[in-house]
Structure 1
């Protein structure tokens, strides 16, 4: 970039009168510099990656195939994800034709969460106590994590069986899995819904 100063002489040579000067700035080199900067940033800037959400799916060692249908009745909670953001549940073993078996609830804190907390209240209390001990620096983070994992595997902890109906949404499944983490449920599994459960679900949805 250069600047040229041009002096304009009137030719009359009057004394005491300042000569007029005209300044011209050449911006041509700026074009090349801008192109270099644009090229530099295009090469050095990483393109934005698509955002994805990670889901911690239950592992097969939590509830094996034989346990899925033979879970202790007093510890089993079956969630059936229905249409229009509705969720239904029943406790214990499935009984075909029992229309009173399936109960409706919601994904709110006063719905499915209250149900799971009532089944897992003692373990949730232990987990919260361990987290508070870690916060107060009474135990290390590693020790806290180990004790929490041990507490979740205690005898008497509920087993949740999640079944999604045809018209349930992906969001419904995510909401159900979130509640597993919030309520400290360590034993849960996702399995297909049975024909008998579909019949009860259709009856429950039709009664609404």
Structure 2
């Protein structure tokens, strides 16, 4: 409350801040109690058992509709379309992969070859878990339905290329 002293000397008005502090605590309490906390969502990732990984149990992928993404260190990725060794991989920063996936999907769908566009993700020993999760999130955001993870079958030519570029 404000007090005014009307005697002799002119005094400065004094304001009691207690009601304002009470109001602040009431508002903070209200917002904390009415806010819903979002729960983290988990993405299901399944990999076949080792005995199911025999050549006769593998799915055949169409080379013209398959993009292979190799996750490297320092937030770098190397990708190529088709079969390994037939085309030189392109190295990009992680932030540019969305554009490349969209462009390759458009080209693959326009090629007239039947089948679904597939992204094959190969995390290497130089990559980190954050990049893998970000890549899987990016594929989910871009609605790439057919995606596979293959961290067991990284070819020697892919490893050599990545070492040569300094991202393995």
The two structures have a TM-score, normalised by structure 2, of 0.59
1:186 is aligned to 145
- Runs of 4+ deviating beyond 6 Å: none
Out of 152, 156, 160, the position equivalent to 1:195 is 156
Out of 45, 49, 61, the position equivalent to 1:57 is 45
* Long gaps (5+) in structure 2: 1-38, 49-55, 108-113
Pair 58,112 (structure 1): closer, same or farther in 2 beyond 3 Å: farther
1:157 is aligned to 116
2:73 is aligned to 83
Of stretches 186-195 and 162-171 in structure 1, the one that deviates more from structure 2 is 186-195
Does the CA-based 8 Å contact 1:76-1:158 persist in structure 2? yes
2:126 is aligned to 167
Report deviation, 1:202. 0.7
Pair 121,189 (structure 1): closer, same or farther in 2 beyond 3 Å: same
Does the CA-based 8 Å contact 2:65-2:105 persist in structure 1? no
Does the CA-based 8 Å contact 1:74-1:92 persist in structure 2? yes
- The structure with the largest alpha-carbon Rg is 1
Secondary structure of 1:104's aligned partner:
strand
Q: Distance in 2 between matches of 1:184 and 1:121?
A: 13
Report deviation, 1:53. 5.9
How many residues in Structure 1 have an aligned counterpart in Structure 2? Answer: 114
Does the CA-based 8 Å contact 2:67-2:81 persist in structure 1? yes
2:64 maps to 1:103: no
CA offsets per residue over residues 74-96 of structure 1, 9 Å max, x none? Answer: 1010000001111110110011x
CA root-mean-square deviation = 2.7
Q: Which has the higher contact order (CA 8 A, sep 6+)?
A: 1
